[in-house]
């Protein structure tokens, strides 16, 4: 075959592949030329952009809150009278209990991921059967709490008293922060009790249904502090 013909064939294949990938890319981002022009698509764009802007703003606020809390903790180190020191000790304990302190200890780490293989092998199947739902996470968290977990974090979101786990559509939110799979749940507590309790709960169900799940233990897990707000507008001390 002439070299010119070979070159033409190669470039033709490359162009075909580019076309294919471009089409796939457009369908993945959900923005075909036609729909982008429509009012519906414009509204979608606005909503997505509002959400991402708010998320960035919230991340910045949380960074500042963490900084302020650290500065307050530094002030606590300044030499004080015995009366103030007693208050500071009490405050430190309360902060530890409220999840405002970064903590360490022995525990387990559970990873839950969507069943991509099952989804690929059953293209006509209901995708909901192959993804991790918020109630799977809630179930594992309940198992951990019943096993005496002293602190829990999900994808670096520390769980505190008012933490909620929710889903909007198929997006999972913890502390109103959007989380994406794989979901890594860390818990500090007695390793063997945590392990056994989780192993026989929802974790086992997911394992049996071929979800890529894993559990490991560690001697010195480090869980982040809660970076969100602790505002009580309606609840007042008696």
- Binding of other proteins at residue 128 (CB under 8 A)? no
Question: Among 111-119, 161-169, 204-212, which window interacts with other proteins (CB under 8 A)?
Answer: 161-169
Residue 80 interacting with other proteins (CB under 8 A): yes
* Spatial distance between the Cα atoms of 216 and 202, rounded to a whole number of angstroms: 16
The mark string for 36-75 relative to other proteins (x by CB under 8 A, - otherwise) is ----x--xx--xx-xxx-xx-xx--xx-xx--xx-xx--x
Which listed residue (37, 116, 178, 196) binds other proteins by CB under 8 A?
178
Instruction: For the segment 191-220, give every residue that binds other proteins (CB under 8 A).
Output: none
Please report whether residue 95 would count as binding other proteins according to CB under 8 A: yes
Q: Least separation, in Å, of the C-beta of 200 and other proteins?
A: 14
Note whether 188 binds other proteins by CB under 8 A.
yes
Instruction: For residue 155, state whether it binds other proteins (rule: CB under 8 A).
Output: no
- Site for other proteins contains 110 (CB under 8 A): no
β-bridge partners, 174: 165, 177
For other proteins, the binding residue among 120, 123, 128, 234 (CB under 8 A) is: 234
The tokens of 219 are what? Answer: 């001697």
Rounded Cα–Cα distance for residues 152 and 154 (Å): 7
Minimum CB separation of residue 186 from other proteins in Å reads 12
CA distances in angstroms from 18 to 23, 27, 28, listed in the order given? 9, 14, 15
- Closest distance to other proteins from the beta carbon of 110 (Å): 17
Residue 226: count of CB within 10 angstroms of its CB: 26
Under rule CB under 8 A, residue 142 binds other proteins: yes
117 lines the binding site for other proteins (CB under 8 A): no
- Give 140's contacts (C-beta < 8 A, 6+ positions apart): 110, 112, 185, 198, 201, 202, 203
Give the Cα-Cα-Cα angle 142, 146, 151 (nearest 5 degrees).
75
**C-alpha span between 82 and 92 (Å, rounded):** 15
List, in sequence order, the alpha helices (H) in 77-201. 82-98, 116-121, 134-146, 191-199
Sheet holding 165-168, edge to edge: 165-168, 171-174, 177-179
Q: Which is nearer to other proteins, 81 or 208 (CB)?
A: 81
In the complex, least distance from residue 131 CB atom to other proteins, rounded to whole angstroms: 11
Please work out the total of residues on this chain that contact other proteins, with binding judged by CB under 8 A: 103
């Amino acid at each position: 075959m002439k070299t010119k013909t070979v070159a033409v064939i190669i470039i033709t294949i490359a162009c075909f592949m580019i076309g294919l990938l471009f089409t796939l890319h457009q369908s993945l981002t959900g923005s075909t030329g036609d729909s982008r022009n429509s009012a519906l698509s414009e509204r979608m764009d606005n909503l997505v952009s509002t959400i991402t802007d708010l998320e960035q703003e919230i991340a910045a606020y949380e960074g500042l809150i963490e900084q302020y809390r650290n500065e307050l903790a530094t002030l606590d180190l300044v030499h004080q009278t015995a009366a103030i020191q007693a208050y500071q000790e009490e405050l430190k304990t309360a902060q530890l209990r409220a999840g405002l302190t970064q903590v360490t200890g022995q525990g387990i780490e559970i990873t839950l991921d969507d069943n991509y293989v099952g989804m690929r092998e059953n293209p006509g199947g209901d995708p909901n059967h192959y993804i991790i739902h918020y109630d799977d996470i809630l179930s594992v968290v309940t198992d951990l709490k019943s096993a005496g977990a002293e602190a829990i974090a999900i994808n670096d979101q520390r769980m505190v008293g008012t933490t909620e786990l929710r889903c909007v559509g198929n997006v999972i939110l913890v502390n109103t922060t959007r989380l994406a799979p794989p979901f890594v749940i860390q818990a500090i507590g007695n390793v063997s009790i945590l392990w056994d309790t989780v192993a026989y709960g929802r974790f086992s169900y997911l394992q049996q249904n071929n979800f890529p799940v894993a559990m490991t233990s560690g001697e010195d897990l480090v869980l982040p502090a809660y970076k969100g707000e602790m505002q009580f507008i309606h609840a007042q001390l008696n």
